Structure 1
Amino acid sequence: MAAYLIFDVEIHDAAEYGKFMAAVKPAIEAAGGRYLVRGGEHKVLEGDWRPSRLVLFEFPSMQAAEDFYNGPAYQGMRPIRLSSSTARALVLVEGAQAAATPLPSSAPGASHRLDETGHPP
């Protein structure tokens, strides 16, 4: 099951952080990961969280993401990231399992109610 790494980062030294970004991308891809969001515009709709720069990665599994994070490639680059930025949050979350039941029909009169497991009653 896919896993997602959410990274809220505040960059202090753009030139140095740029070196980190150039080096980390191939390492992420080698671990089966990919960028889904990379510092785009964002808006907080609820809550007190005030992200600086958001990055979202997708990995094939929690284990693949942890292996990347703890592995020699990333750990070798991590000092560059630490010296040029501050991680405000780095969160790994497991993705939702694909529903085995098809979504309810959108035909007129069809029921759109779901039970507590997210399936039609």
Structure 2
Amino acid sequence: MAKGYWIARVDISNVDGYKQYVAENGPVFKKYGGRFLVRAGQFEAKEGDNHRSRNVVLEFPDYAAALACFESPEYQRLIAIRAPHSVADLIVIEGYDGPQP
């Protein structure tokens, strides 16, 4: 079964205000089997419109878990905490589980 992922691009306008979101998101992600693959690491924009300053990729056991986490009341509460302090582009996407080159 293919895994599920969140791919997020974020700009933070108030680092101090954003800290509560960071402090509280771990237990929510853990509940749905999420784990960070990328969390604001160094990057070079090579193509396209790369206007956000922070990149995050979370992996979940499957697409359903990734969707359930985003739609959960726990995460919706975290969005309300994060939103005044940042702007984000986020997609929930199903991983690829087919043949590889």
State the TM-score, normalized to the length of structure 1.
0.76
**Residue type matched to 2:90 in 1?**
L
Q: Does 1:40 align with 2:38?
A: no
Q: Specify which structure has the bigger relative contact order, considering alpha-carbon pairs within 8 angstroms and separated by 6 or more residues.
A: 2
Tell me which residue corresponds to 1:27: 28
* Structure that is richer in helix per residue: 2
Q: What fraction of aligned residue pairs are identical, expressed as a percent? A: 35
Tell me which residue corresponds to 1:52: 53
Q: List runs of 5+ in structure 2 lacking aligned partners.
A: none
For residues 85 and 2 of structure 1, the distance between their equivalents in structure 2, rounded to whole angstroms, comes to 27
Tell me which residue corresponds to 2:93: 93
**Residue type matched to 1:64 in 2?**
A
For residues 15 and 86 of structure 1, the distance between their equivalents in structure 2, rounded to whole angstroms, comes to 15
* Structure that is richer in strand per residue: 2
1:49-69 superposed Cα distances (whole Å, 9 cap, x missing partner) = 333100110011111011111
State the TM-score, normalized to the length of structure 2.
0.90
The offset of 1:33, in angstroms, is 0.3
Q: List runs of 5+ in structure 1 lacking aligned partners.
A: 104-117
**Residue type matched to 2:91 in 1?**
V
The offset of 1:93, in angstroms, is 1.6
